[in-house]
Chains A and B, each alone.
Chain A
Amino acid sequence: MALLEINQLNKRFGGVVAVDDFNLSLEESTLQAIIGPNGAGKTTIFNLITGIYPPTSGQVKFNGDVLTGQQPFKVAKMGIARTFQNIRLFPEFSVLDNVRTACHMEANYSILEGLVPTPRRMREERELTEHARKLLELVWLADREEELARNLPYGHQRHLEIARALALEPRLLLLDEPAAGMNPDEAQQLMEFIREIKQKFNLTILMIEHHMEVVMGLCDYITVIDFGKTIAQGTPEEIQANPVVIEAYLGVGE
């Protein structure tokens, strides 16, 4: 059984078909990419998986459980973490707090203990702060934990967002154009980083990308979509040789 199964997913917004009969099967510990030009519907697919809005029809299953129709926070609880195309960090929070907030599930202390501190709360806070700090070390931000997240340079913000997603200890990581706005060198570094965390945390990753070459060396399987429709699916080699894809992509890959 695949970890993530998407069957005949459809989404219409009024008269516009954003996603048309999308199918995908994601095995555990693999990395797949969804590629397509802007507006092809890639982020919509992510939003459908994570429950931001319901699909018009179709189903998403995670680990055998039906995801479609669940609220986003429940989807996250089930073990799916994501990053956003436009980076959604918490602007008023420090670097540390951005990650630390995401560790909230590691603690169990109640609302009442929030109002009146107990030893259990102190201990749990210490532990989750430790965890958050370890994650910051991973993204080379450990010495900047007090800084405001919005003051970080762009590349670091991306890394921070990924660290925050990792705080959920997810099984599935959804990355929405993580290399957006980066030059080729930075993008390469990021891909290396993704390769490392995938191995270290035994993650299954589904990635949206715009730049094809960036994902070529990294992923096991690629789905190409355009105008909401799937135009090709296959291994990187197959995709590179696919004439339909080449035609749709003339010019992309600068």
Chain B
Amino acid sequence: MSVYYEGIIILACVNLLAVLGLSLLTGFTGSFCFGQAGFMAVGAYVATLMTMKLHTPFAVSLLGGMLAGGLISIPLGYPTLKLKGDYFAIATLGFAEAIRLLIENLEKITGGSRGIPSIPTRTSLPIILVVTIVAIIMVRSYISSRHGRNCVAVREDEIAAQAIAIDTFRYKQISFVINGLLAGLSGAFLAHYVGFIQPSMFGIQKSTELIVMVIFGGMNSVTGAIVAAAVLTGLPELLRAAAAWRLVAYGAAVVFIMVIRPQGLLGTWELSWKNIQRLWQGIKSIGSHTNKAKA
């Protein structure tokens, strides 16, 4: 496979890792996070500094970036997760902006707005693909567990969730931390693929792109999120569409989806053996119906 296509898949996986976290946090648990780029930035910079200053092996840097993303979500979560939806959204936006500002101003460590160049490009297709697949499996598993059901209950109706003994705050917190871990990991991979990082890569636009992917894919389907991440990463790359028109289309599409089909492209449909069998049954029965109609 050519390097070009490999690159697209790698970028799709980078986005997908962040989208997986967001799918769990915003999609399934219902906490609208506007600041995903902030977590990615934390992961990217920590991992980069570990590689460049401490000369740690790639796996350790990745782990460092991932844990940094997860750890920072803990103190951030305490004051913000108690808040109503829109407050939380703005607070996470504020967090991402604060991180960006911090990075820009701690020039000695982070290189300021010019960033850190010449990062060894250790991200290879097999590595990120394996990690992404493992992440997908784990997230899907979580969602189908009793913990996942509790998360969705929190999203659907917090008061009713509390009435059936669900500690809503704790579950939001857990989703927030998992999201932080995945976003941190995503940032770490990104840094070691692109070869340099700058705060401008982790601005509102990035956060928006990721949220849009979750919305497209449906807030109830990990499969949908995967498809959306793949398509929305690959398509613009392949078509080389003007970046601004792409965002115009995204904006319109988001409104369209909310008004017409808020469950997203796939609704709650997940790729599973049972669903494939059902799909197959459905296709077969179309054939027999047409035959009966003819007879």
Contact = CB atoms under 8 A, between A and B. Distances in A.
Interface stretch (A32-40, A72-80, A228-236): A72-80
Interface stretch (A18-26, A101-109, A151-159, A177-185): A101-109
B156 A92 contact: yes
Interface stretch (A57-65, A114-122, A188-196, A241-249): A114-122
Given A101-B150, A104-B146, A128-B146, A89 B163 contact: no
A200 interface: no
Contact of A168 (B139, B147, B164, B268): B164
A103 B153 CA distance: 12
Interface string B10-24: 000000000000000
Nearest to B268: A92
B167 A73 contact: yes
B194 interface: no
B165 interface: yes
B203 to A, nearest CB: 31
B162 A92 contact: no
Contacts of B64: none
Nearest to A90: B156
Contact of A114 (B148, B160, B166): B148
A92 B165 CA distance: 19
A116 B138 contact: yes
B220 interface: yes
B156 A72 contact: no
B149 A100 contact: yes
B159 A72 contact: yes
A240 interface: no
Contact of B152 (A52, A71, A81, A92): A92
Interface in B158-174: 159-168, 174
Contacts of B138: 115-116
B145 interface: yes
Contacts of B165: 73, 76-77, 102, 104-105, 168
A50 B146 contact: no
Select the residue from A77, A91, A102, A107 with max chain B CB neighbours within 10 A. A102
Interface residues of A, number: 38
B157 interface: yes
B142 interface: yes
A227 interface: no
B69 to A, nearest CB: 16
Contact of A76 (B145, B150, B164): B164
Contact of B162 (A72, A101, A114): A72
A115 B220 contact: no
B105 interface: no
A88 B166 contact: no
Contacts of A50: 163
A209 B142 CA distance: 40
Given A73-B167, A76-B164, A111 B147 contact: yes
Contact of B141 (A71, A90, A116, A168): A116
Nearest to B149: A101
A228 B138 CA distance: 51
B141 A117 contact: yes
22 contacts: A52-B162, A72-B159, A76-B165, A82-B163, A88-B157, A88-B160, A88-B163, A90-B152, A92-B156, A101-B152, A104-B164, A105-B165, A114-B146, A114-B147, A114-B148, A115-B139, A115-B141, A117-B141, A117-B145, A121-B145, A125-B145, A167-B164
A226 interface: no
Given A88-B163, A121-B145, A168-B165, A111 B174 contact: yes
A93 B156 contact: yes
Closest 10 CB pairs of A and B: A72-B162, A76-B165, A114-B145, A88-B160, A102-B164, A90-B156, A114-B147, A104-B146, A115-B138, A101-B149
Contacts of B159: 52, 72, 84, 88
